[in-house]
Structure 1
Amino acid sequence: MPPEPASFIGREPELRLLGQLLRERRLITLTGVGGVGKSRLALRAVADARHTRADGVWWVELSPLRDPTLLTATVAHAVGLADHSPRPLDEELCAWMADRELLLVLDTCEHLVSDCRHLAGELLQSSPGLTILITSREPLRCAIEEVVEVRPLPCDGPDSDALALFRARALAAAPRAAAVFADPERAAVAAEVCRRLDGIPLALELAGARLRLWTVEQMAERIGERFEMLSDVRVPRPPRHQTMRTTIGWSHELCEPLERLLWARLSVFTGDFDIAAARAVCAGGPLPAARVERVLAGLTAKSVVLRSEERGAGARYRLLDTIREYGHDWLGELGETQLVTDRHAHWYAALSQAADRGWMGPGQVDWYRRITAEQAQLRTALEHLLTADPTAALEMAGNLWFYWFACGHVHEGRAFLERALRRAPRTEVAYNQALWSLGLTMLLQGDMDEARRIGEQCARDAAHLADPERELRAAYLHAASVLMPGDPVRALELSGPRARAGHGGRPTGPGWLLCKLSTSYSLCALGRFEEATEEARSLREACAELGERWMRAYADYILAVAALGLGDHGEAARHVRAMLSGKRLLGDRLGIALGLDLLATAVAGLGDGELAARLLGTGHAWWRTVGRPQMGSPSLTAMRDQGERQARAAIGDAAFEAAFRGGAAASTG
């Protein structure tokens, strides 16, 4: 859920109606003109529902989404489903929701009406406990849809909600404006301003911010002039649409020239962005990079741009859709659409390259958070480059291998990589990297034959390139594709010490370390636990020296498996708890699911059957978000089953089932 705004004014009748509908209906759509407050009303309406839905309320922001094929992936990611199965993602999402009782909010759907209608229908049919709340400028037009038109705030009288919102925004911008509302005559002028703005909340907020510079009388006069000038428009619009468009246009005219230029250029951003991106994308001509932050602050003060603070991401900025659309029209008038869109795409391509270089170092957690925060922008950049510069798209998709593979975006990554590989010319290094990244996604989806085929092709290409790092990465992919179905001997031949020495390469490179990871797993699967411990300890030390966390956590996992094989359940539990700590930092759902199963087996071996049962239940819940229990691996399944047998033997079947159910109810959010 996004944070609620600090102030919320009025809407009591709408909130009562929505409270009733959310109890009685399964699909409710809030419609209305842009800027009327649909999203804010939805957010307030569902705040109380969190306590009445067993599986909570999940908010999906669709405003940044431009590719309708990513709708299901966006919803799945928002609800915590990091599906790794080869099945269609919509089927997995339906299965995941089937027995849940939750409220799903799809915010800003007007550009995806047909796709949202189809997805909502599928989800509601498969999940009896699901309710969906939509915000959109137009309804979905479903048979079961309950449409609620969100009207502007009442603006008649001295105590109207519209005047209260205008007052609140004015006082936030200029505390001295309190004198306006204390004087009945001047308050009446303010009320007339609200009436001329039709009580539309966004229009009121934009106007209220102007009281920093004007008197209310000046505002009333200028609004009147503006509306009269634009009343004869060539493109007819409904009155409220015209009011909103006119108010935004008025705000635009009142900005300084550089503010108007920045407003237009910022319109290429979908979702939120940081100041570094704004400088890189929007500077140029009369707007130097050094002045972007100051001009952006001016737009923020005028409520054209919204500013927020994100944990681990610093200050973030965004434009509301109606304001962004106006800016984008102006960008077209300036003739800069292609230029600024290209800048945007290449900035995020460069960011992806920097993230790839930094992933194996001490900034890994920060890179994970930053790339996660930039997901909407990365998608927009990739979509643009697939058409405008397929080679750059291929490089960018390949550089994001860690995001697709390690951060739970397998379906999306595979789709982007396959499209880029089809469209781009076959450049040697970029093609090899993208092909290897595609193989990793196939590996996690259980498509082992294809992963093995791609691993072999990557190995041939890397040998031709005479690039040891590429050879090592290909060796890992090939080894993992035979290890997971149950052939540790062949995996050891492909990635073990002798194979690594034959390839050469940096012992601190991703390829070398991934091969050590595969080797450690293979040795455990062969029962060679002392050798596995030595290999995993060496891997952990190398990762710790680099400051890397993702692979270090898997080294802890292997140390735990080896300790378990050697009969030291306490040591196994210690290592797996360290592993889980690292995986939670990176949101690695697969790693968390693996760790919970292993911890359950360790504590069962220590005699705590009840805790083991709860951990297995919680692990079951996490595996459901992954989509492939135990990744289809015989050895992982055998280990998990061992823990269950020991727990049942310790506490009996009835107590086990009760504890398991308790663990399965744990949150995976």
Structure 2
Amino acid sequence: MWSYVGGVSVLNEARGREPAGLVGRAREQTELRALLAGHRLVTVSGCAGVGKSRLASAVTDTMTQGPWRRVVTVRWQGRGQGAPGALGAAAVGALTGVRPDRHTADAGAVVRSLPAEPTLLFLDDVDPVHAECMGLVQHLLMAAPTLRVLVTSRHCLGLGDEHVLALGPLSVETPDGADGLPAAVELFERRARAVVAGFRAAGADLAAVEDMCRTLEGVPLAIELAAGQLARHSVRELAAKLEHHQSWLTGRHSGLRRHRSLRDAVGAGYVLCERAERVVWARVSIFAGSFAESTAVYLCAGGGVEPHDVPGCLARLAARGVLEPVGDPGGVRPPRYRMMRAVREFGSARLREAGEFPVAAERRLGHCRRVAAVAANLWSTGGQRQAVRLLQNERDDLTAMLRHARTQPDHAGTALETVVNLWFWWGVYDNAAEGRDHLTRLLPVCDAGSALNMRGLWLAAWLTAHSDPQAAEVLLGRAWPSAVLAGDDAVIGRLAHVEGLLALHRHDERAAAEHFRHAADIIPPYAPGGPSAAVSRAAQAVAQAGFAPHRAQRSARRALTVPGVRDDAWATAVARCAGAYADHRSGHSGRARQRARRTLAALDPELPAPHVCAALRQLIADIESGSPGRRRLPYVPPPRAGRVPDAAARLTGPSS
């Protein structure tokens, strides 16, 4: 039977739970049983809607054999902070059957009223009375040796004898070698069958369900609420709607009132935060991906929040499950955090309500500009691995900033500078389509006569030459006069490099080799902002290999002597690949294969593979198959009818 004391519900009988709620939780159930059998204080923690109460209830209901004779459950059913003494009063009522006044039910009264029989006290969902719960549990465990306590909360109590089971979202991917559906997809299907009889996703619908579960990040409550929407939306309509936002999800949930809406489930934690924590929550919600503690300090400081307060707020939000530490929490690296999407949407709504979104967007713009500048400097000074790792960490926020800047004319110049500084991210790591899209939208709204616009035109031409040679020629026509008038040798040389790419499209190897030679001769040593002279010299070798293999070998060797090439890992790989290709065309296939393998082995396997890797692997395959080689340049169109293209490497530019 249920009874209510001070806003707390008390249950003294076993309760059943439908099996669908525990899909994918077999390991956690086993682990929780082992913890309860071996320890006196166990806490199940996790973010909102992850299923803490459901898991704990199912285990206590089915664990008939344990070091206790009865299970007493106390659950908070109120909204917001609990009144002082409410938890103690509920515990006394549950353990003794007497309903005392909450003003007199302190921890001492509970201890004096404890029965002698071994008991498991299940304190469910104690976040609103967290501070009182800490004191109560500590007194109980010290005074009653036969008592065990199970707690569910968004964060642990922090007591010394506490053992914590951190409950995460359901898996959205099938483990390698495993059969069946991911746990999140299986839960969706089971809940969907309660709405649509016989529901089973297949084909495009199954792909939509999988995408939906990834968007919802495997949170069981969100998945169940989404499945309940199938009465009004098809699977694919629902997936598209959730891709834009998910806080609108609601349903007739049989449990707590706040679980009837995803927004209310997240907001229940918001009302428990201090003012500074709420402000930090709202402000960091502008980050689309993970962010560093130092970045959060820069963005959140001001408006009543001191810079030195931000790290503490982040740590407390992480303890409450609002933020998720990523990387190596507590390690030597600076801490980084991320927000689940539903939490971020809730914070973003609070940020806009407070009228602070424009300021936050301005600060994010400045942060992304600095990230791009640092990454460009690292790339040009020998820290290419660090540059790529930095961009991997910041990619989501860079993308969000650039998309927002398209709608803000005041931000367009800074956004274009960011895109141009990241030329290597677009061109070297096969992100050319994304880079082209940003440039296409930003160039028309920026100053056409500026040096930045000239560099943007060069980059757009370089990224476009493969997918649309005619458009690349138009861009070159716009960029050449500005580059010549400005006397910028680096841009002039790189424009000549693009001319070489277009000549290769026309299958004119001799003209291409001449353009690449001109580019290599004119690009200054150590010139930042684009491919070095070594890359153009390597491209010259590739073009020459079709009609003068021995000259191509000399050009490839010269590429490795360009000043600064040893500090440029990508240019070195391109030059060595060109040398291997020239060796192969000259009849030294064994040496070419050995060089190609050494070059591949020298690349960092933890980083994205630059497009030169495809050329190296293709070259090795051609050598082992006895083929003279096939043209694999990213800017060479499909072969003309009746013509087999010559072999080359994917060296001279980004692929689409």
Q: Secondary structure at the match of 1:284?
A: coil
Matched, 1:36 2:49: yes
Name the residue aligned to 2:500: 479
The alpha-carbon distance between structure 1 residues 336 and 458, as it changes in their structure 2 partners (threshold 3 A), is: same
Give the counterpart letter for 2:291 in structure 1: F
Cα distance in 1 for residues equivalent to 2:348 and 2:237: 32
Note if contact 2:538-2:556 (Cα within 8 Å) is conserved in structure 1.
yes
Name the residue aligned to 1:506: 525
Name the residue aligned to 1:105: 211
Cα distance in 1 for residues equivalent to 2:644 and 2:333: 36
Give the counterpart letter for 2:470 in structure 1: D
Note if contact 2:534-2:560 (Cα within 8 Å) is conserved in structure 1.
no
Cα distance in 2 for residues equivalent to 1:264 and 1:144: 31
The alpha-carbon distance between structure 1 residues 146 and 373, as it changes in their structure 2 partners (threshold 3 A), is: closer
Cα distance in 2 for residues equivalent to 1:489 and 1:589: 27
Matched, 1:13 2:20: yes
Matched, 1:344 2:450: no
Note if contact 2:225-2:250 (Cα within 8 Å) is conserved in structure 1.
no
Cα distance in 2 for residues equivalent to 1:467 and 1:333: 48
Note if contact 2:48-2:266 (Cα within 8 Å) is conserved in structure 1.
no
How far off its partner does 1:535 sit?
2.7
Q: Deviations over 1:30-63 (max 9, x none)?
A: xxxx95349x99843643576349xx99999xxx
Unaligned runs of 5+ in 2: 1-16, 27-46, 52-166, 186-202, 218-223, 240-248, 650-656
Matched, 1:383 2:403: yes
Name the residue aligned to 2:538: 517
Q: Deviations over 1:631-651 (max 9, x none)?
A: 64789954399xxxxxxxxxx
Task: Give the stretch that moved more between structures: 569-578 or 43-52.
Answer: 43-52
Q: TM-score, normalised by structure 2?
A: 0.59
Cα distance in 2 for residues equivalent to 1:59 and 1:633: 46
Name the residue aligned to 2:622: 601
Quick one: which of 439, 443, 446 aligns to 1:421?
443
Quick one: which of 501, 510, 513 aligns to 1:492?
513
Note if contact 2:373-2:418 (Cα within 8 Å) is conserved in structure 1.
yes
Cα distance in 2 for residues equivalent to 1:366 and 1:455: 32
Q: Deviations over 1:54-81 (max 9, x none)?
A: xx99999xxxxxxxxxxxxxxxxxxxxx
Give the counterpart letter for 1:519 in structure 2: Q
Cα distance in 2 for residues equivalent to 1:143 and 1:240: 20
Name the residue aligned to 2:105: none
Q: Secondary structure at the match of 1:425?
A: coil
The alpha-carbon distance between structure 1 residues 12 and 413, as it changes in their structure 2 partners (threshold 3 A), is: farther
Cα distance in 2 for residues equivalent to 1:428 and 1:573: 46
Name the residue aligned to 1:571: 591
The alpha-carbon distance between structure 1 residues 42 and 298, as it changes in their structure 2 partners (threshold 3 A), is: closer
Matched, 1:639 2:647: yes
Note if contact 1:469-1:512 (Cα within 8 Å) is conserved in structure 2.
no
Name the residue aligned to 1:51: 178
Name the residue aligned to 2:425: 403
The alpha-carbon distance between structure 1 residues 640 and 562, as it changes in their structure 2 partners (threshold 3 A), is: closer
Higher relative contact order (CA 8 A, sep 6+): 1
Name the residue aligned to 1:4: none
How far off its partner does 1:441 sit?
1.8
How far off its partner does 1:332 sit?
3.2
The alpha-carbon distance between structure 1 residues 550 and 52, as it changes in their structure 2 partners (threshold 3 A), is: farther
Give the counterpart letter for 1:441 in structure 2: L
Q: Deviations over 1:421-442 (max 9, x none)?
A: 1222324211111111111221
How far off its partner does 1:541 sit?
4.6
The alpha-carbon distance between structure 1 residues 153 and 330, as it changes in their structure 2 partners (threshold 3 A), is: closer
Give the counterpart letter for 2:618 in structure 1: D
Note if contact 1:348-1:381 (Cα within 8 Å) is conserved in structure 2.
yes
The alpha-carbon distance between structure 1 residues 456 and 493, as it changes in their structure 2 partners (threshold 3 A), is: farther
Matched, 1:431 2:444: no
Q: TM-score, normalised by structure 1?
A: 0.58
The alpha-carbon distance between structure 1 residues 332 and 604, as it changes in their structure 2 partners (threshold 3 A), is: closer
Cα distance in 1 for residues equivalent to 2:562 and 2:489: 19
Quick one: which of 228, 233, 236 aligns to 1:141?
233
Cα distance in 2 for residues equivalent to 1:136 and 1:355: 43
Name the residue aligned to 2:434: 412
Q: Deviations over 1:593-633 (max 9, x none)?
A: 2222100122334xxx9xx9xxx9xx99xx9xx9x797647
Quick one: which of 344, 369, 374 aligns to 1:354?
374
Note if contact 1:107-1:135 (Cα within 8 Å) is conserved in structure 2.
no
Give the counterpart letter for 2:458 in structure 1: W
Note if contact 1:553-1:578 (Cα within 8 Å) is conserved in structure 2.
no
Cα distance in 2 for residues equivalent to 1:553 and 1:494: 21
How far off its partner does 1:144 sit?
8.2
Note if contact 1:262-1:296 (Cα within 8 Å) is conserved in structure 2.
yes
How far off its partner does 1:377 sit?
0.5
What is the identity percentage for the equivalent residue pairs of Structure 1 and Structure 2? Answer: 20
The alpha-carbon distance between structure 1 residues 556 and 524, as it changes in their structure 2 partners (threshold 3 A), is: same
Task: For 1:84-99, list aligned pairs within 5 A.
Answer: none
The alpha-carbon distance between structure 1 residues 632 and 102, as it changes in their structure 2 partners (threshold 3 A), is: farther
Q: Secondary structure at the match of 1:318?
A: strand
Quick one: which of 412, 435, 441 aligns to 2:463?
441
Q: Secondary structure at the match of 2:545?
A: helix
Note if contact 1:492-1:519 (Cα within 8 Å) is conserved in structure 2.
yes
The alpha-carbon distance between structure 1 residues 310 and 377, as it changes in their structure 2 partners (threshold 3 A), is: farther
Task: Give the stretch that moved more between structures: 453-462 or 380-389.
Answer: 453-462
Give the counterpart letter for 1:505 in structure 2: P
How far off its partner does 1:344 sit?
0.6
Cα distance in 2 for residues equivalent to 1:101 and 1:258: 41
Quick one: which of 564, 569, 577 aligns to 1:549?
569
The alpha-carbon distance between structure 1 residues 630 and 349, as it changes in their structure 2 partners (threshold 3 A), is: same
Task: For 1:182-581, list aligned pairs within 5 A.
Answer: 200=259, 239-241=260-262, 243-244=264-265, 246-252=267-273, 255=274, 257-309=275-327, 315-388=335-408, 389-445=411-467, 447-496=468-517, 500-501=520-521, 503=522, 505-506=524-525, 509=528, 510-529=531-550, 531-542=551-562, 546-581=566-601
Give the counterpart letter for 2:174 in structure 1: A
Would you tell me which structure has more helix in proportion to its own residues?
A: 1
How far off its partner does 1:408 sit?
1.5
Q: Secondary structure at the match of 1:251?
A: coil
Task: Give the stretch that moved more between structures: 546-555 or 279-288.
Answer: 279-288
The alpha-carbon distance between structure 1 residues 137 and 300, as it changes in their structure 2 partners (threshold 3 A), is: farther
Note if contact 1:57-1:103 (Cα within 8 Å) is conserved in structure 2.
no
Cα distance in 1 for residues equivalent to 2:176 and 2:21: 15
Note if contact 1:273-1:318 (Cα within 8 Å) is conserved in structure 2.
yes
Cα distance in 2 for residues equivalent to 1:478 and 1:460: 15
Aligned length: 456
Note if contact 1:601-1:640 (Cα within 8 Å) is conserved in structure 2.
no
Note if contact 2:535-2:575 (Cα within 8 Å) is conserved in structure 1.
no
Unaligned runs of 5+ in 1: 1-9, 20-33, 61-96, 112-132, 155-194, 201-238, 642-669
Cα distance in 2 for residues equivalent to 1:448 and 1:134: 49
Give the counterpart letter for 1:588 in structure 2: A
How far off its partner does 1:269 sit?
1.0
Task: Give the stretch that moved more between structures: 568-577 or 356-365.
Answer: 356-365
Cα distance in 2 for residues equivalent to 1:278 and 1:11: 42
Q: Deviations over 1:382-417 (max 9, x none)?
A: 122222222222222222221221112222221111
Note if contact 1:408-1:589 (Cα within 8 Å) is conserved in structure 2.
yes
How far off its partner does 1:542 sit?
4.2
Note if contact 2:576-2:599 (Cα within 8 Å) is conserved in structure 1.
yes
How far off its partner does 1:317 sit?
0.8
Cα distance in 1 for residues equivalent to 2:277 and 2:325: 16
Cα distance in 2 for residues equivalent to 1:143 and 1:332: 31
Note if contact 1:35-1:322 (Cα within 8 Å) is conserved in structure 2.
no
Note if contact 1:59-1:105 (Cα within 8 Å) is conserved in structure 2.
no
Q: Deviations over 1:453-475 (max 9, x none)?
A: 32343232211111111111111
Cα distance in 1 for residues equivalent to 2:212 and 2:256: 32
How far off its partner does 1:316 sit?
2.8
- Answer with 1 or 2: which has the greater Rg: 2
How far off its partner does 1:251 sit?
2.1
